[in-house]
């Protein structure tokens, strides 16, 4: 009997060993090798399995839904991936948002979901201050368009924007207190693309008959501009968004002028305390006037700026040898607005 038992056990081992080997080869056992299905981060099973959502994996797996994200968003689908996996749907951004569009607010980037107060500076001499008499069509009743101070309005506060937008000048030879400036039509044009909940603020700093030297450091109007910027920076959700500039009649043909435009731009950025570039849009001087030879320098200055543009005066008319008539003020203001919308990608 003992011999028979030994024979049976030997026969069983002979039959079972090949069967066990076959089972092991078929993969029915448990694998701990990195990169297996269900371990897309190659760290031993801590990542999402096949079809996982947006876990923060370092190296993409072969079937993860959002492989290789360095920092996962709290409500996004899987932005913020550094290296996409072979089957992942993530894109290659560096830092995820929190469920919004991940864009910056209060900086040079597009504003996020918070309301933003977009502030623009209106700079130059009389063609920015405006000379043509204002008409009923120039009035604004939209509370989303504000001006800091402005002519005939309380200084140092945000008022409903209506022309003229720059401070009333002491100059008596031109009655600018009843004029229209391109800034109001610039603002009206921007309203057409303004995101719901946002507001536009305009800062008029134009001075009739002045050289660019009065606006840069050391100039007689420079500190006034800095004071306005300091006030504007305190506004809730304020964001410095751009500058429009119409000047050159007093400095016609001066080769140093483009460099001074760049200086002005840099000084405005420094006053705002920003490290991003904003659009700086220059306007051509009227062709039928005194100073159209200066337009070559207008183009040159735009080319020298990191985010510079210029708009054409084509189709405009002057009511004297210097100043745009009413229709031309409207046209130039609208062109400033359209170019700013293009530059900001609104």
| pLDDT score for 245 | 99
Residue (of 210, 300, 221, 312) closest to 267 by Cα position: 221
303 has a pLDDT exceeding 60: yes
346 has a pLDDT exceeding 90: yes
What is the distance between the alpha carbons of residues 283 and 55, in angstroms, rounded to a whole number? Answer: 51
| pLDDT score for 44 | 38
> Which tokens go with 313?
């005066």
Report the pLDDT averaged over residues 274-298.
94
CA 41 vs CA 37, 61, 342: distances in Å: 10, 6, 42
| pLDDT score for 167 | 84
pLDDT-based confidence at 152, cuts 50/70/90?
A: confident
Q: What is the pLDDT of residues 180-194, one digit of tens each?
A: 999 999 999 999 999
**pLDDT-wise least confident of 80-94, 124-138, 142-156, 183-197:** 80-94
Q: Which helix (H) or strand (E) holds 292?
A: none
| Stronger pLDDT, 129 or 52, i.e. the higher one | 129
| pLDDT score for 128 | 96
Share of the chain above pLDDT 70, in %: 65
What is the distance between the alpha carbons of residues 161 and 147, in angstroms, rounded to a whole number? Answer: 5
H-type alpha helices, the chain:
2-25, 126-129, 182-191, 222-232, 257-272, 295-304, 326-344
Report the pLDDT averaged over residues 273-283.
98
Q: Is 345 exposed, middle or buried (0-12, 13-18, 19+ CB in 10 A)?
A: exposed
| pLDDT score for 178 | 86
The two beta strands, 238-246 and 199-204, are unpaired
pLDDT-based confidence at 169, cuts 50/70/90?
A: low
| pLDDT score for 190 | 99
| Stronger pLDDT, 77 or 166, i.e. the higher one | 166
CB atoms within 10 A of CB 34: 12
Do the beta carbons of residue 185 and residue 337 sit within 8 Å?
yes
pLDDT-based confidence at 220, cuts 50/70/90?
A: very high
| Stronger pLDDT, 223 or 14, i.e. the higher one | 223
125 has a pLDDT exceeding 60: yes
| pLDDT score for 168 | 78
| pLDDT score for 6 | 46
Q: What is the pLDDT of residues 263-277, one digit of tens each?
A: 999 999 999 999 999
Which residues make beta-bridge pairs with 33?
none
| pLDDT score for 200 | 99
What is the distance between the alpha carbons of residues 33 and 310, in angstroms, rounded to a whole number? Answer: 62
The CATH fold of domain 117-344: Rossmann fold (3.40.50)
The two beta strands, 238-246 and 280-283, are parallel
| Stronger pLDDT, 79 or 162, i.e. the higher one | 162
Q: What is the pLDDT of residues 63-121, one digit of tens each?
A: 333 333 333 333 333 333 333 333 333 333 333 333 333 333 333 444 457 899 999 99
Q: Sketch the domain layout of the chain as residue ranges.
A: 41-96, 117-344
| pLDDT score for 112 | 59
């Amino acid at each position: 009997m003992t011999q028979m038992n030994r024979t049976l056990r030997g026969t069983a081992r002979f039959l079972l060993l090949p069967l066990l080997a076959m089972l092991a080869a078929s993969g029915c056992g448990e694998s701990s090798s990195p990169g297996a299905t269900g371990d897309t981060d190659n760290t031993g099973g801590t990542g999402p399995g096949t079809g996982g959502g947006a876990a923060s994996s370092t190296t993409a797996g072969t079937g993860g839904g959002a492989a290789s994200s360095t920092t996962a968003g709290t409500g996004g689908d899987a932005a913020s991936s550094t290296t996409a996996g072979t089957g992942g749907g993530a894109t290659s951004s560096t830092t995820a948002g929190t469920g919004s569009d991940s864009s910056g607010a209060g900086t040079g980037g597009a504003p996020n979901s918070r309301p933003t107060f977009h502030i623009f500076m209106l700079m130059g001499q009389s063609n920015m201050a405006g000379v043509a008499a204002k008409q009923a069509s120039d009035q604004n009743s939209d509370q989303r368009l504000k001006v800091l101070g402005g002519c005939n309005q309380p200084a140092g506060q945000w008022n409903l924007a209506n022309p003229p937008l720059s401070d009333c000048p002491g100059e008596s030879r031109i009655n600018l207190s009843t004029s229209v400036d391109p800034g109001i039509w610039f603002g009206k044009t921007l309203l057409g693309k303004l995101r719901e909940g946002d507001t536009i603020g305009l800062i008029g700093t134009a001075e009739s008959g002045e050289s660019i030297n009065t606006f840069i450091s050391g100039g007689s109007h420079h500190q006034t501009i800095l004071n306005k910027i300091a006030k504007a920076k305190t506004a809730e959700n304020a964001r410095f968004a751009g500058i429009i500039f119409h000047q050159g009649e007093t400095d016609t043909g001066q080769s140093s002028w483009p460099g001074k435009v760049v200086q002005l731009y840099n000084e405005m950025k420094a006053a705002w305390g920003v490290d991003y570039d904003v659009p700086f849009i220059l306007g051509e001087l009227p062709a039928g006037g005194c100073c159209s030879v200066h337009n070559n320098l207008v183009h040159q200055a735009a080319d020298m700026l990191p985010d510079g543009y210029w708009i054409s005066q084509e189709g405009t008319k002057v009511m004297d040898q210097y100043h745009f008539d009413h229709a031309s003020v409207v046209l130039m203001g609208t062109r400033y607005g359209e170019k700013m919308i293009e530059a900001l990608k609104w």
